[in-house]
Structure 1
Amino acid sequence: MTALLFEALDTGAALADAILAWIVAAAVVATVVLFTAVLTGAWAWRAARRGLAGAWRAEQPAPGPESIPTPQRRTGPSWALDDKEAA
């Protein structure tokens, strides 16, 4: 009778260890899946925002010639200019 009780307790402890190991493994897998889902969602959100921003930029008219600054002409570096050109 005592041997049967020890055998039942030993089997129960082995089952408890196995169940605990499965719970830990499931928690690790769930954590990896959750992190992957968050990173994938962030990547998709960023890609969607970039795509929409590009579409919004394409809808805006191009700047007119009056808004484009004209380049200033220089004949050389500022330290090499004559006094009358610098003034």
Structure 2
Amino acid sequence: MIADGAMRLKNVAMLKMAALHARAFESVRLAPLYDTLTTRVFPELHNDRMALKLAEKDNQLRWADFETCTPTIDLPLRKAR
């Protein structure tokens, strides 16, 4: 169901919803999806790694890992939060 184009059915994604810190998805919604590269959307791929590293990590990223990268893109930390 993922491709690019003009809002046809193929431009709609299934968005699994879960509460913060939940261990399971609670519902599924349809959401528009454009110009997107699909990465790590399936929890069962827990051993899968990202192709590019962020803050020297390719898995189990935390907010602090993103914070360390804000100077690289000249983004003040207060705006990133």
Greater RCO structure (CA 8 Å; 6+ sep): 2
| Structure label with greater radius of gyration | 1
Q: Which TM-score applies when normalising by structure 1?
A: 0.15
Greater percentage in helix = 1
